[in-house]
Homo-oligomer: A and B are copies of this chain.
Amino acid sequence: MSESDARERSETTTWDELLELARSDGAERLAQRLEELDESERVHALGRLDAEERSEVLGALPAEDAAELLGHLPDAHAAEAVEELEPSSAAEILDELESDERADLIGQLDRDSAEAILDEAAPETVESVRELLRHAEDSAGGLMITEFVAVPATWTASQLVDHLQEQIERYADYVIQYVYALGSRGELVGVLPLRDLVLARRDRRLESLMLDDPIAVPASAGLPELFELFDRFRFLGIPVVDDSGRMLGVLLREDVDEARVEQAQADELKSRGIVGGEELRTMPLFTRSGRRLSWLSINVVLNIVAASVIAASQETLSAAIALAVFLPIISDMSGCSGNQAVAVSLRELSLGLVRPAELIRVWWQEVSVGLVNGLVLGGLLGAVAWLWKGNVALGAVVAAALALNTLVAVSIGGVIPLALRRYGYDPALASGPILTTITDMCGFFLVLSLATAVLSRIAGA
């Protein structure tokens, strides 16, 4: 390669490079180049392509590599890319995915694309997908994988080992930590950890080696129950059974942990006002705008309601215009104090230290902190007001208003998440706006009514 070629090459971006390799039909070289990149470089490069280009790259890869790549993309990108592929190519990739990733992917496609792809996929794939999609996404049935090893409990260890040897191809990609033992009706009767199989005498039957009466979950079990189960036991996987005790799949610890992380990340988005699901900046402008506005429009209405308190006290404000400087300070500080209380309540709820019904106890614990902090902050701000305008009444009004509003804010902030949880609402989502609206109104009201009460002393400030 000449020097100028080399210079030109180094200026080609990674994603352009991938696209070129995909188009030039260099499937091997493309797979190789992807392998050289680390995880974040891959995600970043593919994120810089648009949906069609991403599809091209995916379609150019061997099905196995494409499946691996797909697993690393954000859900929205993966779904888009697959929808752009020919159904037969997509089906090949689908066959290579693990059962739970497969079901997740199909579940995100529009109906027509999904059906077109399933038409081309292998029968076991289709069966597995339909089974998993029967269940809610966030339940044991939705999170489980359908790849597991289950054999009759009457088999000997020797027969089991032979079976594993024979089926070595089929089980090659399985995550096997346990072998499940079935009874005569095909129901789950025991679990044999792999380690115990290693140490077992080969002529022993599984029924004498296995752990009887194993822990299992119904397919309908929801996330809270699953978190609890995996917190309590060290298992790497728990069998999922139907009503008659037959195994449907295995729920892996790592998938439950992934659900935990995803929930925390979704809460983080919601608490900052991204409420319509994930937003990626590659999404269309009006989708992003519309979703953000759904949250902003609620907030603007709440803000107008809160500010109406100020509108009702315009004479007082006219008389002591300095108050207008302190209104935003007091409303913001109350929001801060209140949000700290919200954070602690959410945390204690998730740890199980507090229960939704324990409103009084939480309120009492917040009142003490609210008193101390209210006095400190109120004193501070009151002093600033006094120093600025030389008016003691102004300082006193500001101090009292901030102190009292801090008390109100931590009380509400501490209690709102519990009340929301108790009535089945999402505390992470709603606590913020409810809190700020109430504390804003309260703060404005306190400042302006206290000021009105001492209007003669405060006028002209």
Contact = CB atoms under 8 A, between A and B. Distances in A.
Contact of A337 (B296, B326, B348): B296
A215 interface: no
Contact of A177 (B39, B177, B325, B337): B177
A454 to B, nearest CB: 19
Interface in A196-222: 197-199
A377 to B, nearest CB: 6
A348 B281 contact: yes
Contacts of A286: 372
Interface in A249-293: 253-254, 257-258, 260-261, 264-265, 267-269, 271-274, 278-282, 285-286, 288-289, 292-293
Interface string A71-110: 0101000000000000000000000000000000000000
A136 interface: no
B268 A271 contact: yes
A332 B436 contact: yes
A228 B38 contact: yes
Contact of A296 (B43, B328, B377): B377
A288 B197 contact: no
A430 B174 CA distance: 44
Given A253-B254, A258-B257, A324-B310, A329 B300 contact: yes
Interface stretch (A22-30, A116-124, A338-346): A338-346
Contacts of A297: 377, 380
A359 interface: no
A326 B307 contact: yes
Interface stretch (A4-12, A50-58, A229-237, A238-246): A229-237
Given A199-B161, A268-B268, A344-B281, A299 B333 contact: yes
Nearest to A253: B254
A198 to B, nearest CB: 6
Contacts of A151: none
A261 B253 CA distance: 14
Copies of this chain present in the complex amount to 2
Nearest to A269: B343
A333 B300 CA distance: 7
Given A199-B161, A261-B264, A296-B333, A372 B40 contact: no
Interface stretch (A59-67, A127-135, A180-188, A361-369): A361-369
Contacts of A111: none
A439 to B, nearest CB: 11
A199 B168 contact: yes
24 contacts: A38-B228, A43-B351, A47-B352, A161-B199, A168-B199, A176-B195, A268-B268, A271-B271, A274-B340, A280-B344, A280-B347, A281-B353, A285-B372, A292-B337, A299-B333, A300-B333, A307-B328, A307-B329, A308-B325, A311-B388, A314-B322, A327-B328, A328-B328, A332-B440
